[in-house]
Structure 1
């Protein structure tokens, strides 16, 4: 399958400010219910993501990981600060961004192919061109032959692969993923991690990946953004120097274990995190 690559040149790997694809600065988020005190969800969040980089976000339950991703996606407004993707202020969903949710959220009355086509239809893109791309993506993730099946006929892992295809069908430069494999069994989750790295390597998308699993974040990422308990602040941004390509055996290696231990030390007694 011929996939348009979004990856920057080798020069961009140095990550100067000019090469940042996602920019977040001074980000604050308050939830203000009518009859109760405001909830301070995110406090002074600032980081950048280079074009083609894979960055994960980890932190204890309730620290604002999903809130951060929804702000990046333009699904909810920020309270203060700057959020830019490809130089554009994010105030609403933009075509350059694809989103993968915690569950596949496939529409049960549509076939798998029809579900994957939804972003192309919503954005008014060429249907014939994107139907071909949808079929190619489904083939790439091992779902060729399932195009005319309905979601209930697929396993959880297969549905999630279809959800990833849906997020990629309009060829976004940025892919935001909110704990997409959290509900899968361990073996399926490992398979999906390897599959995701293959898709990322071939497409060159910039990925921001939220997870509760420290080991998953270390295995997948170039860098890991560590959030503190609520209100979520950046406790540390950890570069993961483990080389690429990566094999699943890396997860249990001593080298990966060093990073897992370093990140986990932030969460002793701070809430649920794997």
Structure 2
């Protein structure tokens, strides 16, 4: 298995063909690779196919043409090697936090005793020890998202896909969650593909940033970030980080909708 091509997307197209309206070409000739253990962000204007790309990697949606492989396997449906974190935590309100984290274990019929220990360790890792028996409404939005990350990691997937997970949080909580995510990533060793509208967030988090064009989404550029790790929020004040943000922003004109 080639760890330099842990995720491989080659010539991917996605065309939606509704019965009563004209086809929509969402993605066009997308090609890139992700190394094992790498943190990749995907940015682009609204409607360029970022979420579609993530759903194809997750096996939730099928591509129309091209090849997609994760951990050496063709993606033709959901893979156990992949975990996904959505824009909202989507926790089940009638389950405790620990019970929510254990949902993938139940779905995959794994050994509950073994994975309960892992779930408890993950909750401790994200600062939620002591909240295992709380219900979602008793936690803040940021705490719920941390629980959602634990749920995606509990079955130890090789790849973690994240679809704008912090977009609904306030600026200070979002910064805190960015730092926490890097810590979790460093300690868990997962490969992460992270979709965001925020260019500074992408630069802060990533080893590389995949920049998509307007629909149909194409790879406009893949930018190597190269900032030293571990990173603190102060890294964003550096000239190098500012140069990366400026380089990515040059791909966007005033008609494109993207956060600054």
The TM-score, its normalising length taken from structure 2, stands at 0.98
1:130 & 1:270 partners in 2: Cα distance? Answer: 48
> Is the 8 Å Cα contact of residues 162 and 194 (structure 2) preserved in structure 1?
yes
Residue number in structure 1 paired with 2:11: 26
Q: Offset of 1:19 from its aligned partner?
A: 2.6
1:272 & 1:103 partners in 2: Cα distance? Answer: 21
Residue number in structure 2 paired with 1:186: 171
Q: Offset of 1:243 from its aligned partner?
A: 1.3
Q: Offset of 1:92 from its aligned partner?
A: 0.7
Number of residue-to-residue matches in the alignment: 259
2:112 is the alignment partner of 1:127: yes
**SS in structure 2 opposite 1:57?**
strand
2:256 & 2:18 partners in 1: Cα distance? Answer: 24
* Matches for 1:52-131 after TM superposition, within 5 Å: 52-131=37-116
Spell out, residue by residue over 1:216-238, the C-alpha distance to the aligned partner (whole angstroms, 9 max, x if none): 00000000000000000000000
2:246 is the alignment partner of 1:261: yes
Q: Offset of 1:98 from its aligned partner?
A: 0.5
**SS in structure 2 opposite 1:266?**
coil
The TM-score, its normalising length taken from structure 1, stands at 0.93
* Matches for 1:105-254 after TM superposition, within 5 Å: 105-254=90-239
**SS in structure 2 opposite 1:40?**
strand
1:18/1:171 Cα in 2 relative to 1: closer, same or farther (>3 Å)?
closer
> Is the 8 Å Cα contact of residues 21 and 51 (structure 1) preserved in structure 2?
yes
1:103 & 1:143 partners in 2: Cα distance? Answer: 18
Structure 2, unaligned stretches of length 5 or more? none
> Is the 8 Å Cα contact of residues 209 and 224 (structure 2) preserved in structure 1?
yes
**SS in structure 2 opposite 1:41?**
strand
Q: Offset of 1:270 from its aligned partner?
A: 3.7
Structure 1 consecutive aligned stretches of length 4 or more whose deviation exceeds 6 Å = none
**SS in structure 1 opposite 2:251?**
helix
Q: Offset of 1:18 from its aligned partner?
A: 6.1
Q: Offset of 1:269 from its aligned partner?
A: 2.1
2:73 & 2:63 partners in 1: Cα distance? Answer: 15
1:57 & 1:130 partners in 2: Cα distance? Answer: 31
